[in-house]
């Protein structure tokens, strides 16, 4: 049974304070989620000491524990986002992850810390699929790619803010303690509180001010999309979709590797403190992220304007080709300045490639499946990047030239694999683009 639905441009719909303010809050939540997710990376040293952990246990904590829940809840969250109330879904998830971040400051054991990490993953899993689905109904077609790009761009602030901002918080706490201020809690506990409380305040603000936008459909009919619809759509274009999903996982995988282990690599190779390594890496990854997330989609739009329907693939291939030598060789260089510069270049390439593919879902995925398709992208990215990579790097490091050798090997292999995947699907993507990315079934 079909129900009619308005095809009026979503920009005219009432959504509380307005579409752009809702987008701003979504983007801010995305930034804060990445701060809460990445802050543990800066605290590896004191957490290892507090709970007597090794590198593999740390990898399981910061990566694998998070990835398992995040990846497998993402797709159900995307399905709910395509059919349910996205505002309530996002607000509930945000409040859960914030409380888990705050609760981690009081963890009495490694097991409790892992359980809270699982809770953080569950809360964060709903955000991006629901946000992309919401953005699709907040804005008319001609503004969706811009809005989706702005949301994705906000994510680039998160990791560098965790590293640089976390370093400043640590330095401030150390200075306060040196000045005689009596603080009973450990520094790592205070840092978790400092990042968790602002996130919680923003989550409550979003819950109180945002409104659920009316759903729209270009075909003029509403249709409850089933799992079978999603499977049929993917099966009809399986080569293109599988290539895009796997490339996103590969590019995102080496970005995760850099974020998880670069700070620790710098500390071990150059004898830097957490404050020094975080302060150095934060600005590098921020600049690289800006160049990649904003520059790569812009270049893609210019290439597409020249008539190349496969612009997304061509530009992302160039990103993978640039990342391979920058990381596989650059990470092994003895000069910290040159190494950091090449890490920034590799970050730009990887994040630019991921952004290119995620933003393309506004065109490649059917309107009523955007949340599900974005969730599938992030599922693959998270399973590989946050699940396998954090453990693979130290394991390979034990067999090669230490932690840095494992990091360089993983980054080089993933960038090369992504390049091969894009070459494999280029012709298929161009053919589908020329056909207008056909949808299986006129109802969707």
Residue 217 lies in a domain: no
Domain residues for 242? 16-211+226-434
Between residues 139 and 3, the one the model is more confident about: 139
For the chain, what is the radius of gyration of the CA atoms? 21
Strands 3-4 and 221-222: antiparallel
pLDDT at 221 over 60: no
Split at pLDDT 50, 70, 90, the class of 12 is very low
Per-residue pLDDT at 401: 72
CATH of the domain at 296: 1.20.1250.20
Residue 441 lies in a domain: no
pLDDT at 438 over 90: no
Between residues 311 and 441, the one the model is more confident about: 311
Between residues 406 and 372, the one the model is more confident about: 406
Mean per-residue pLDDT, 363-382: 80
Mean per-residue pLDDT, 368-393: 84
Which of 60-74, 146-160, 397-411: highest mean pLDDT?
397-411
Mean per-residue pLDDT, 297-325: 93
- Mean of per-residue pLDDT scores for the chain: 86
Per-residue pLDDT at 79: 80
pLDDT at 245 over 80: yes
Mutual angle of helices 44-51 and 110-125, in 10-degree steps: 140
Mean per-residue pLDDT, 429-440: 79
Residue 203 lies in a domain: yes
Residue 77 lies in a domain: yes
Least confidently predicted of 169-178, 262-271, 365-374? 365-374
What percentage of the chain reaches a pLDDT higher than 90? 47
Between residues 260 and 315, the one the model is more confident about: 315
pLDDT at 11 over 60: no
pLDDT at 122 over 80: yes
Per-residue pLDDT at 217: 59
Residue 237 lies in a domain: yes
Counting the structural domains of the chain, the total is 1
Could you give the CA distance from residue 255 to residue 316 in angstroms, rounded to a whole number? 14
pLDDT digits (tens, 9 = 90+) for 65-112: 888 898 888 778 888 887 889 999 999 999 999 999 999 999 999 999
Per-residue pLDDT at 406: 94
Cβ pair 19, 229 in contact under 8 A: no
Split at pLDDT 50, 70, 90, the class of 114 is very high
Could you give the CA distance from residue 405 to residue 110 in angstroms, rounded to a whole number? 27
Split at pLDDT 50, 70, 90, the class of 343 is very high
Residue whose tokens read 């390049």: 419
pLDDT at 371 over 60: yes
Per-residue pLDDT at 220: 43
Split at pLDDT 50, 70, 90, the class of 361 is confident
Q: Report CA-CA distances (Å) from 119 to 69, 73, 301.
A: 8, 11, 38
Which of 214-218, 312-316, 365-369: highest mean pLDDT?
312-316
Length of the chain equals 444
Per-residue pLDDT at 224: 65
Mean per-residue pLDDT, 123-138: 89
Residue 218 lies in a domain: no
Per-residue pLDDT at 250: 94
Per-residue pLDDT at 123: 94
Mean per-residue pLDDT, 411-432: 93
Per-residue pLDDT at 158: 85
Residue 3 lies in a domain: no
Least confidently predicted of 325-334, 335-344, 430-439? 430-439
Residue 444 lies in a domain: no
Between residues 385 and 436, the one the model is more confident about: 385
């Amino acid at each position: 049974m079909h129900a009619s639905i308005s095809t009026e441009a979503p920009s005219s719909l009432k959504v509380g304070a307005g579409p752009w303010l809702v987008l701003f809050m979504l983007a801010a939540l995305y930034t804060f989620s990445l701060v809460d997710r990445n802050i543990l990376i800066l605290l590896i040293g004191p957490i290892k000491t507090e709970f007597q952990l090794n590198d593999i246990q740390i990898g399981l904590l910061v990566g694998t524990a998070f990835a398992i829940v995040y990846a497998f809840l993402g797709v159900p969250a995307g399905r709910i986002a395509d059919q349910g109330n996205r505002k309530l879904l996002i607000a509930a998830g945000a409040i859960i992850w914030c409380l888990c971040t705050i609760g981690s400051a009081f963890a009495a054991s490694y097991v409790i810390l892992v359980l809270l990490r699982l809770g953080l993953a569950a809360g964060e899993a709903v955000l991006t699929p629901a946000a992309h689905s919401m953005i699709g109904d907040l804005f008319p077609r001609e503004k969706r790619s811009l809005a989706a790009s702005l949301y994705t761009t906000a994510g680039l602030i998160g990791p560098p803010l965790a590293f640089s901002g976390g370093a400043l918080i640590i330095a401030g706490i150390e200075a306060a303690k040196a000045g005689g201020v009596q603080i009973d809690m450990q520094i790592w506990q205070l840092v978790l509180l400092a990042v968790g409380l602002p996130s919680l305040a923003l989550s409550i603000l979003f819950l109180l001010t945002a409104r659920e936008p009316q759903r729209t459909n270009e075909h003029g009919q509403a249709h409850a999309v089933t799992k079978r619809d999603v499977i049929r759509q993917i099966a009809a274009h399986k080569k293109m979709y599988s290539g895009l999903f796997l490339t996103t996982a590969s590019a995102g995988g080496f970005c995760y590797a850099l974020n998880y282990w670069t700070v620790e690599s710098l500390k071990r190779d150059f004898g830097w403190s957490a404050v020094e390594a975080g302060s150095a890496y934060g600005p590098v990854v921020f600049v690289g992220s800006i160049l990649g997330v904003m520059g790569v989609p812009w270049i893609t739009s210019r290439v597409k304007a020249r008539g190349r329907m496969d612009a997304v693939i061509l530009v992302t291939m160039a990103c993978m080709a640039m990342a391979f030598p920058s990381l596989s060789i650059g990470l092994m260089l003895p000069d910290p300045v040159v190494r950091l510069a090449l890490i920034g270049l590799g970050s730009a390439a990887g994040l630019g490639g991921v952004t290119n593919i995620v933003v393309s879902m506004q065109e490649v995925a059917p309107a009523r499946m955007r949340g599900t398709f974005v969730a599938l992208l992030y599922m693959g990215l998270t399973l590989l990047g946050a699940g396998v990579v954090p453990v693979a790097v130290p394991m390979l490091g034990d067999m090669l030239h230490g932690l840095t050798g494992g990091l360089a090997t993983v980054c080089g292999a993933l960038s090369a694999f992504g390049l091969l995947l894009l070459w494999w699907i280029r012709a298929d993507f161009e053919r589908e683009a020329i056909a207008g990315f056909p949808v299986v079934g006129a109802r969707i």
